[in-house]
Amino acid sequence: MKKHMCLVRCCCQFVPPNVSENLAKKGVEEARVSIQQSKQIRARRALRSVSFNAFNLEQAVGEANRKVYDCKNTWEQRLEPIARDEGSDHTDDKTVNIVYEYGGIVRDYFRNVLGRNSIDNRGMDLVLNVHFGVDFMNAFWDGDEMTFGDGDGEVFSNFANSLDVVAHELAHGVTQFTANLEYQSQSGALNEHFSDVFGTAISQYANGQTAGDADWLIGDEIMGPALYGEALRSMKAPGTAYNNELLGVDPQPAHMKDYYAGPEDNQGVHINSGIPNRAFYLAAMEMGTDKATLVWYEALQKLWPTANFNDAVTVIVELARQLTRDGKIPLGSAQIIRAAFRDVGLPSTP
């Protein structure tokens, strides 16, 4: 299957819309403001994407430099002067320093472990905006840069202080420049899934963890005092990440029999990602996170914008066979991966 000749940027946000909406219904004013600002961000991105669609994969090679901007609690990105550039000294702002460090961890993981030269594989600079808005309760990748809110300090803490968040959102960029998976329905759920895969793989790598050591939680690092101990997703046990008055009940299914077929969340992009997430967890527990991530990364480059779950299973298993042949993963890996997908009801049609 051919990929589109041009890239379509999506505004991929870390906190799912159903979570933000539940918070707003419970009277969390910061959540209501964050929802309204998110709508405006998507509208601005849609206008900017008209010119972006002429942008193709043949870009100039860059140097993969980190560029951190301080939005100073305004709703503007890339606010000058730059807060910290590649190779510059620490600043007095801890958030600037930590997002600079985390951006480097993500960049170095893709380069040193997976052989990828930054987000676009051509040395794209990592643009990281911090202190966006007032108590903004989200973080997002919008096609060419990352932006982080500070959270309200009660429900959510600063999003830039989480390696999970930084890795997950920058990974949306990797997907954009490879399979360019459309951000709706199963292709969108795969988009979210691959970001969770790379996010947890990078966190485990940075913390020196194995699959057996990791908690497999996504978003637990940003939970404030009101939600301490909760998370946004569990790759190990989708549907168990949270259950409380503020967030509601985690709606993620762990099996195709519970597939969400409704219209919310772009037809369930953050919801149905739990199904392939569980399959990845099962595979990683058997073959190791590093080996499983390699298979998923190679498969991502063979997928296409409208690929569905069954397409992904076929490509991932085929890449496992090829990598086994090339001696990069152990014999039996393809069988492990097939079994993992079978345990979540794939391949099948909802």
- Kindly list the domain boundaries of the chain, sorted by start residue: 12-176, 210-343
Using alpha carbons, select from 237, 229, 232 the residue that is nearest to residue 254.
237
On the question of pLDDT at 1 being above 50, the answer is no
Question: Which of 30, 169, 192, 298 is an active site residue?
Answer: 169
Burial 6-34, CB ≥16 within 10 A → b, else e = ebebbbbbbbbbbbbbbbbeeebebbbbb
The dihedral region occupied by 184, where left means phi > 0, alpha psi between -120 and 50, and beta the remainder, is: beta
- In CATH terms, 12-176 corresponds, of 3.40.190.80, 3.30.470.20, 3.10.170.10, 1.10.10.10, to 3.10.170.10
Q: Which CATH class is domain 210-343?
A: mainly alpha
Tell me which of 340 and 348 has the higher pLDDT.
340
- Which residue among the candidates 168, 172, 193, 270 is catalytic per the annotation? 270
- What local confidence, expressed as pLDDT, does residue 9 receive? 58
For the record, the structure tokens of 317 come out as 């298993």
Residues 6+ apart with CB under 8 A from 133: 33, 34, 37, 71, 73, 74, 75, 149, 150
pLDDT higher for 58 or 277? 277
- Residue 161: both structure tokens together: 């202080």
Residue corresponding to tokens 């997908």: 341
In the block, tokens 């492990």 appear at 336
Task: Pick left, alpha or beta for residue 185 (phi over 0 → left; psi -120 to 50 → alpha; otherwise beta).
Answer: left
Residue 237 · residue 197 · CB < 8 Å: no
Q: Quick one: pLDDT at residue 61? A: 81
Cα(296)–Cα(315) distance, integer angstroms: 9
Give catalytic status of residue 86 as yes or no.
no
**Closest to 232 measured CA to CA, from 223, 138, 10, 224:** 223
7-16, 176-185, 186-195, 200-209: range with lowest mean pLDDT: 7-16
Question: Residue 90: is it exposed, middle or buried by C-beta count within 10 angstroms (0-12/13-18/19+)?
Answer: exposed
* pLDDT level of residue 350 (50, 70, 90 thresholds): low
Q: Where are the alpha helices (DSSP H) in the chain?
A: 17-25, 29-52, 94-112, 163-176, 185-207, 264-268, 274-287, 289-300, 309-325, 333-343
Q: Does pLDDT of 53 surpass 60?
A: no
Among 68, 70, 62, which Cα is nearest to 102's? 68
Residue 174's pLDDT band (cuts 50, 70, 90): very high
CB 133 within 8 A of CB 73: yes
Instruction: Indicate if the pLDDT at residue 8 is higher than 60.
Output: no
pLDDT of residue 39: 81
Whole-number Cα distances in Å, 150 to 24, 81, 154, 155, 273? 17, 20, 11, 11, 26
Q: Please say if 270 is a catalytic residue.
A: yes
Cα Rg, the chain, nearest whole Å: 19
User: How many Cβ atoms are within 10 Å of 53's Cβ, its own excluded?
Assistant: 13
Reported confidence tier of residue 121, pLDDT bands at 50, 70, 90: very high
State what percent of residues in the chain have pLDDT above 70: 91
Encode pLDDT of 242-289 as tens digits. 999 999 999 999 999 999 999 999 999 999 999 999 999 999 999 999
DSSP symbol at 249? E
- Residue 166 pLDDT greater than 50, yes or no: yes
